[in-house]
Structure 1
Amino acid sequence: MLARLVGIVLGVILATSGYAAADWGPLWGPLGDWAKHLDLGPFEPHRPIAGMAAAIVGGGLVIAALLPGKRKARAKPLALGQEPDVRWIPYGQPVPPLAPPQPQPRPQPEPQAISAPVPPPTAPAPNAAPPPPPQPPTFAELRVRLVTAARTEAWAEGARVLMAMKSAARTDEDKALFHRDLGDFAHGQGRMDDAGDAYENAVSYARQVRHDRPTDDTVELLAGALCGVGDVAEAEGRLDVALSAFEEALALRRSRGGRESGDPGAQRALSVNLERLADLREDRGHRMRALDLYRESYDIAGRLAVADPARFGPDLVATRTRLNELEAKIAE
């Protein structure tokens, strides 16, 4: 309020002084005479302009003092329950230290769907061992392949399988089986010399196996190799060798004492052995001995045909036909 009064007084003095100095008209009182005769120094030649400027500035001061002042902005109203930051403290009381501002919790971002991370492709370890090479087929698997090749007359494939069997044979039993199969393979192709050598080697290995392990399975191993020797000897006209081989094989099979009755393969081998020996006996003129051998074979073939007609029926028919022929020759 005091500043307003001072501004009005100074404004009035400056405005009236300028008015009188500019000589715009008569002014009452001693102020007019003082301002009119006031020495303006270097501005004396410009008295009218200086007086006008003083009058304008004085009028501006008066007007500024009379205008209403700018009011301060009102503080933001406190929210409900909010305490003011500055509190009134009675004079003379110690000012308590201000509490440190409490940190405001940061707004949490909205949860977003997180996709499962894609694992990077695993590179092979630099020192990882290479995968093991495929295992070669076993000796038993190779024998199955040989049988398939022989039935389909795939002789080239059979020869490759036999070479693999030779490398895979480790024990005397494996070697005996390999040479017997080699003899059968050569016999099927008509190579009697190769077949005879293979069967002789099979007999040698089979005798050693029979000596080391005198069981029923070694009986069949040795008897089968001996029948191979007999077949080749008979085809070459060496009937004494053939007769000896067939008789030894038959004696081995009969030594089982009927234990082969539960093995159809062993029973059929016994039946074929009887007929091979019977044919040689007939060639020697021993027809009655040959007839007894055929009748024994016919009984075995009959039992097998009853149990499995599809497999053993043709064998029974062939044995019956051969038996009828031999009985007809004896009846003459």
Structure 2
Amino acid sequence: MIQATSDVRLVDEAPHHHELPADHLAEHFQDHIGVGIFGKSGDKDIVFVCTIYHVGGRQWGIQDGAVMQTSLVVSPTDVRTMRDNAFVANRLDPISRCDDFEVVRTDDVVTWRAGQREIVCQPPHWHVVGEHMGVDVDIHIHGQGRSIPYHGTWDKLPTAGVAGNEQLGIAEGRITWQGVTYHLDEGWAVRERTCLGKGFDVVSLLSAKEGYLWGWVFSEEVKVFCFAQGGSGHFAARVFHHDGIIDFGPEHSSVEPLAAWTDPMTRSRQTTGWRLRMQSDAGMLELEIHTWSRYLFGFHLAKGYTTHSGALGRANGRFRFPDGREVRVDERIAYFEQGFATLLPAA
């Protein structure tokens, strides 16, 4: 039995869009819950993402509805070169909205449901089950530690127009696709819960010139998160270890591109390798990350659209504590995502 911990409250998982001012609801709202699963099944690397977005307003082109993301990559573990691999993914816009979307709350469970897919919230546990786009899953997620504020706290949502958090977890279960079932031998999870109001639509958030980079490295001893958005000033870098979390500021962190690849689907140049360094009085991290299994997805709104590329790979390096203790990171699962916005208003 996997031990689970989390400070997420059940009320956090219920809808929050109604807390936004009326002008936000008229222009843009996006109230969503999602999970990313990063791991292995036998000789295959696995990336699975499911997010249910409750959306509405002028930017979405509908007053109230839902769209759902499903992304899946199943890639041979021994293939270590970026290539034009197969994947499952979709664009997110109201053309393919889910008309049967609902959120059901009882005394001890909040269930988000769209089509045949459900995300069942019972903190510190979550359950993703059902089929979408030919991908059928039954995955249990067990929270690990406290949640991480992502866009601010829920009590500030009515005034700030944005709030949410992320929760690390361990995933177990299975994914079935094209008649083959993959049981997770190693599974790491990130559950994201966010509500975004007017001015926080994804096109506006990603309109900085250099786009963004969002990455994770997973191991038993340490986990690493980094986020950078060039030209916006938005930056985060964290190391999670058994005794707590260490935050590094931009002045103590650097992300250096090491390799790149031109994706034949988008004809754009994408970075596939990075050298990540974080150093302060709290410790020192050095990692080299390379990715080789990618998928694409995007959002289409009134003011433009976004293009995202997520990729799985491996990280190698070390973290050294101030007292000299050192934790090796050898061939650990890494996931790095990057993307940008194109401002192209609808006619």
TM-score for both structures, normalised by structure 2: 0.20
TM-score for both structures, normalised by structure 1: 0.21
Structure with more of its chain in helix, by fraction: 1
The structure with higher relative contact order (CA 8 Å, sep 6+) is 2
Larger Rg: 1
